[in-house]
Amino acid sequence: MHKRYLYPLKFDPQYMEKIWGGHKIQNYLGKDIGDLANCGETWEISGVKDHLSKVSAGVLQGSTLPDLMEEFGADLVGQQVADQYGTEFPLLVKFIDAAEDLSIQVHPNDALAKKRHGCLGKSEMWYVFQADEGSKLISGFKKNTNKEEYLEYLAKDQITHLLNEEEVQAGDCFYLPAGRVHTIGKGLLLAEIQQSSDITYRIYDFDREDGQGNKRELHTEDALDAIDFRGHKEYKTRYTHSMNEVVPLVQSEYFQTNLLEYSTGAIREHYECDSFVIYTCFEGDAEIIAEGHITKIQKGEAVLLPQKFKQVHLKSKLGFKMLETYIP
């Protein structure tokens, strides 16, 4: 029996065919989706029940995130995370390829999700890797509205008239707190980092039918209690792009994500951070070196760095672009 120990962890991706899925996860990220007709989502790191990630290599191969949290506790996730979440891993990392528009939807916050579903709510962020020309997405309302006006537009199939639509390009970032109505538009390939939850209330699906002529279920009543009806001036995350520096993107109570674009490599120190760190690579490649343990990461992969490793060397010959995510 090999002694079990922690190292920078990679997991087997879970590939999901979707009514709106495309082929960029194969063609752009270079992943093998097997015999699926398309791939809308790949779940890279997941503690969601029925979709548990399994370690892909090393002495912990085959172990799920809850297994690891039970076995290693604070050494894996940090004491504050272990205290707050027990053996439930708090984040979910996905790549999403929208060949068609996704449904317009909303996610509940923690209080509503716990009451209705016994799980976490879903605040999330998107970072766009690749965008076809003219691609758009929806985030939030154009102006303050209310239930009555919202239902009136919904009944007339005109809900998009109330919503804030934005043209998108590679490098755009959006934070979507629970309660924000949204959709990913066709032509976008992005990373989604979110609370560990799979609860979605579908508001409008453009009257689409599946292969059998059935429309997908809508959750009009459920969504009403979840929606934040306020309008905001700005929805896109503003940041200044900078090479060979840590660029903060999203700082929320659920996670913090930084953008790392380095030409050769970086030493990252996490002495102040009582959390695991996730590196999600979307360009180039690197070796993640922590106390002599080496794990390779390349475009289209995510690696979980356990909390016990306070310093990590991201070593690269040709450079990389990555997201760095942890619990604040």
Picking from 183, 237, 191, the residue whose alpha carbon sits closest to that of residue 92 is: 191
Count CB neighbours of 42 within 10 A.
20
Nearest to 205 by CA among 104, 136, 106: 104
Task: Look at the chain and count its residues.
Answer: 328
> Which residues, in sequence order, are CB contacts of 302 under 8 Å at separation 6+?
10, 11, 44, 45, 93, 278, 279, 280, 281
6 vs 219: CA distance, rounded Å:
42
Strand partners, 106: 201
User: Mind telling me the catalytic residues?
Assistant: 202
β-sheet bridge partners, residue 304: 9, 278
Q: Which residues are paired to 321 by β-bridges? A: 261, 283
Q: Are 321 and 261 in contact (CB under 8 A)?
A: yes
* 305 contacts 45 by C-beta, under 8 angstroms: no
Asked whether the beta carbons of 296 and 287 are under 8 A apart, the reply is yes
Name the amino acid, one letter, at 264. Answer: T
